[in-house]
Amino acid sequence: MIEITHLTKKYAGHAVVDDVSFTCRPGTVTGFLGPNGSGKSTTLRMLCGLTPPTAGSATLLGGRYRDLPNPARRVGVLLDASAQHGGRTGREVLTLATLTTGVPRRRVAELFAQVGLDDPAARKRVRAYSLGMRQRLGLAVALLGEPEMLILDEPANGLDPEGIAWMRTLLRGFADRGGTVLLSSHLLGEVQAIADQIVLIHNGRVVEQGNTADLIAGGRSLEDLFLARTGGQS
């Protein structure tokens, strides 16, 4: 379970995340939505121990991310697909990850197949990857330790329609097997198709949250809800 409780982050007295609270349960996909600059990425960085909160707490699996022994074996994280070392091949990226996490090296070939990267892609330098290929490689790293939960920030960026459909199937299957998925995305239609619950943040505060089916009842779409609660801001 992911539990975010009264989470706040201030810079120079300005709250970019302001008293945010929500829970993500096993077996579900949570769509974490909001306009650019609304505080989504900062919230995820606090959850993963990369940014200290000013107040409140963000825990997963009953504790802080930084306190988990070998966290990659339990939590898969993809916050920035462009952060991978451009001079390494895709295979080197995954192989190094197996060495640092203690995962068997046989997982490298399994994961390249799972995320749809062929052998030529595995041998290519990451600097030559498209954004979509980097997203697939980042997902492979996130899945490496066979984690119980996934925390993903805009993982569909750069994917073509076929890749987006593949990701939808992957994440839905992960949740249906009992995993927990927290997914930030600007692709509202895709989120509507996959998410069990929605958390909508605007100007650092949660402005709507609940079961997806309830929020879009009466023929309303997730885009309608988004525009109504954010004043049309993208």
Mind listing the pLDDT tens digit for each residue in 5-35?
Answer: 999 999 999 999 999 999 999 999 999 999 9
Same domain membership, residue 171 and residue 118: no
177 and 202 Cβ atoms separated by less than 8 Å: no
Q: Which residue has the tokens 């909001």?
A: 34
Same domain membership, residue 165 and residue 65: yes
Q: In the chain, how many domains are there?
A: 2
pTM comes to 0.93
> Which of the 8 DSSP states describes residue 46?
H
β-bridge partners, 76: 150
Same domain membership, residue 208 and residue 226: yes
120 C-beta neighbours (distance < 10 Å), count: 8
Domain closes at, from 124, 145, 166: 145
Instruction: Establish if 209 belongs to a structural domain.
Output: yes
Q: Return the CATH number at 223.
A: 3.40.50.300
Same domain membership, residue 152 and residue 63: yes
- The reported pLDDT for the residue numbered 219 is 81
Domain range for 121: 85-145
Same domain membership, residue 162 and residue 133: no
Q: Is the pLDDT higher at 189 or at 17?
A: 17
Instruction: Establish if 174 belongs to a structural domain.
Output: yes
Same domain membership, residue 154 and residue 138: no
The tokens for 116 are 């749809």
- The reported pLDDT for the residue numbered 234 is 55
Question: pLDDT tens digit string along 196-228?
Answer: 999 999 999 999 999 999 999 888 899 999 999
Same domain membership, residue 106 and residue 44: no
